[in-house]
Amino acid sequence: MVKSVFVTGGTVGSGLAIAERFAQEGYGVMITSRSGERAEAAARKVAEKYGVHAKGYALDIRDEQRVKDIFADIDKNGCFVETVCLNSADLGFGTAPAVGMPFFEVPVEEFERVFETNLVWNFTIVRQAAIRMREHHKGAIVFIGSNTSYRAIPNRSAYCASKGGINAMSKAFAVDLGPYGIRSNVVLPGTIKTQRWVEMGNKQIVNGELTPIGDISDFEDIANAAWYLGSDQSKNVTGTEVTVDGGMTCQLYPQILNDLKRAAQK
């Protein structure tokens, strides 16, 4: 059996970095995306770069049978998904990232969709993976959550609440699946240097000026945390979260506020 990692939303950004981090360690790599072509292209890139078995799958929400079919295909190819990294998510900002979804205006259907994607969809994937992990008495579930599960941001109530739900669901999985040798943990990123963040330029809301460490996360920072939680390096760690946000959430307020206040008083 080829020891493998299953990464949702693994075609770009943190997801691709996670796939590559595990490939570096010799894992087979299964990548999903709503676009089958993008998933297959990313898998080819990983396979060619690291010399591992890799395969891409089209996967959308609301289709549990598709999840079952994908894991059956993985079985057929002689692979065992020892680690599941649930990176894909609905960001819960509707159609306008700068505006978000205002509390008094957000359609209930939009709110429901965020929860369906971030919680229900992930549950269906975890269950299929756990069926196989149970047979091997070994496995790791890694959710890519968000520090907004503890520190809310404006006009993103569905997103923040769903990410808080992931933390709770992961703890429940740790309890339910622990007897079968299966661990469940969450990576809590802060702001990441995505292409969209870069393109915002001076309109960026969060950057290194706001964090104690003076920087925000690269994709590799998230991938390294996922590798730790998804590998035997954390074999006695379950039901917890690892925050990767440059210290953003550990502070009462950013130091720059003091600096701005002093400057205004001069």
55-113 tens-digit pLDDT: 999 998 889 999 999 999 999 999 999 999 999 999 998 877 778 899 999 999 999 99
pLDDT tier, 266 (very low <50, low <70, confident <90, very high otherwise): confident
Catalytic residue, candidates 150, 159, 228, 253: 159
Amino acid 94: pLDDT: 83
pLDDT tier, 147 (very low <50, low <70, confident <90, very high otherwise): very high
pLDDT-above-70 percentage for the chain: 94
Residue range 98-111, pLDDT digits in tens: 788 999 999 999 99
Residue 5 above 90 pLDDT?
A: yes
Amino acid 193: pLDDT: 67
Contact between 142 and 129 (Cβ < 8 Å): no
**Residue 118 neighbours by CB under 8 Å, 6+ apart:** 89, 90, 159, 162, 163, 165, 166
* Total length of the chain: 266
Topology classification of domain 2-265: Rossmann fold (3.40.50)
Query: Across residues 189-201, what is the average pLDDT?
Result: 67
Residue 191 above 90 pLDDT?
A: no
- Classified as helix, coil or strand, 7 is strand
Amino acid 205: pLDDT: 64
Radius of gyration of the chain (CA): 19
Amino acid 228: pLDDT: 98
Amino acid 100: pLDDT: 87
- Domain residues of the chain, as ranges? 2-265
- Max distance between CA atoms of the chain, in angstroms, equals 71
Kind and range of the H or E run holding 53: none
Contact between 209 and 6 (Cβ < 8 Å): no
Residue 203 above 80 pLDDT?
A: no
Residue 200 above 60 pLDDT?
A: no
Residue range 206-265, pLDDT digits in tens: 666 788 888 888 899 999 999 999 999 999 999 999 999 998 899 888 887 787 777 778
Amino acid 18: pLDDT: 98
Nearest C-alpha neighbor of 211 from the set 192, 227, 195: 192
Residue with the larger pLDDT of the pair 253 and 160 = 160
Amino acid 171: pLDDT: 98
Query: How many C-beta atoms lie closer than 10 Å to residue 195's C-beta?
Result: 9
Q: How far apart are CA 76 and CA 56, in angstroms?
A: 15
Half-sphere exposure of 143 (CA within 13 A, CB side): 35
Predicted TM-score of the model (pTM): 0.93
Beta-strand pair 79-86/241-244:
unpaired
Residue 201 above 70 pLDDT?
A: no
Residue 163 above 70 pLDDT?
A: yes
Please indicate whether residue 150 is annotated as part of the active site: no
